[in-house]
Structure formats: C-alpha cells, structure tokens
Amino acid sequence: MNITPYLLLAGFLFSIGLIGVLTRRSIILVFLSAELMLNSCNIVFLAFSRILQNYEGAIMVLFVLALSAAEAAVGTAIVVSFIRKTGSSEIDSANLMRW
C-alpha cells in the first residue's frame, strides 16, 4: 500500500467540508465545516511528511493547528457579537457587504 488511500480520504473529507461550508445556514456549523477542510489538508501534509521521511509537513501541520486554535477563539468572539447585533445565528443575516 502506498499513500494513495490517504490522499483520496483527504480529498473526500475536503469536498464534504466544502459542501458543508456552502450549504449550511447556521454560522457555527459553517465554521466547523471549515475546520474539517483544514484537517483534511493536514492529512495530506502528514502523509507526504511520512513518505519522504522529513519534518517539513509536520511543522506545517503544527502551525495549522495553532492557527486554527487562534481562529476558533476569534471566531467565537465574532459569532457572539454577531448574534448580539442581529439576534440571529443565520449566516444570511450577514448581508452588509452583499452584492
């Protein structure tokens, strides 16, 4: 077995997360689907890091995980103030800059 099944799994998870980001209406579930997309990219990084036996992909995964933690903190604050302002958790309420 080579790493092809790992890469295919990452592709499947990425496209499921993409469907989630584009079709869910609840703002928090859009955010969680984006996290799923980030993690499917991490699978690709780690698979290549394992097969080439170096650490560049692993370090990149460490940075992605730390940034997604920071993003979760800021995202929570934005969701809280968004709900406070509009009184709704629907993502369609965020239409200030809409065409």
Partner 1 sequence: MILTGLFFAFALIAFVSSLYLVFHPKTIPASLGMVGSMVAIGMIYALLRFPFFAFIQIILYAGAVMVMVVYLVMSQGFEEIGKEASLSQTIGAYVISVLFLFSFSRVVSKSLLPAWEKAEKGFGSIREIGLNLVKDYAVPFEILSIILVAAMAGSVLLSKRSLK
Question: Among residue numbers 1 through 20, which ones bind partner 1 (CB under 8 A)?
Answer: 1-9, 11-20
Structure tokens at 62: 């460490």
Dihedral of CA 55/59/60/62: which sign?
A: positive
How many secondary structure helices (H) and strands (E) does the chain include? 3, 0
Q: By CB under 8 A, tell whether 30 contacts partner 1.
A: no
Site mask, partner 1, residues 76-95, x = CB under 8 A?
Answer: xxxxxxxxxx--xxx-x---
Strand ranges in the chain using DSSP code E only, listed in sequence order? none
Shortest Å distance, C-beta 19 to partner 1: 5
Per CB under 8 A, which of residues 60..79 are in contact with partner 1?
A: 61-63, 65-74, 76-79
Structure tokens at 73: 């903190």
The DSSP 8-state label assigned to residue 72 in this structure reads: H
Q: What minimum distance in Å lies between the beta carbon of 99 and partner 1?
A: 14
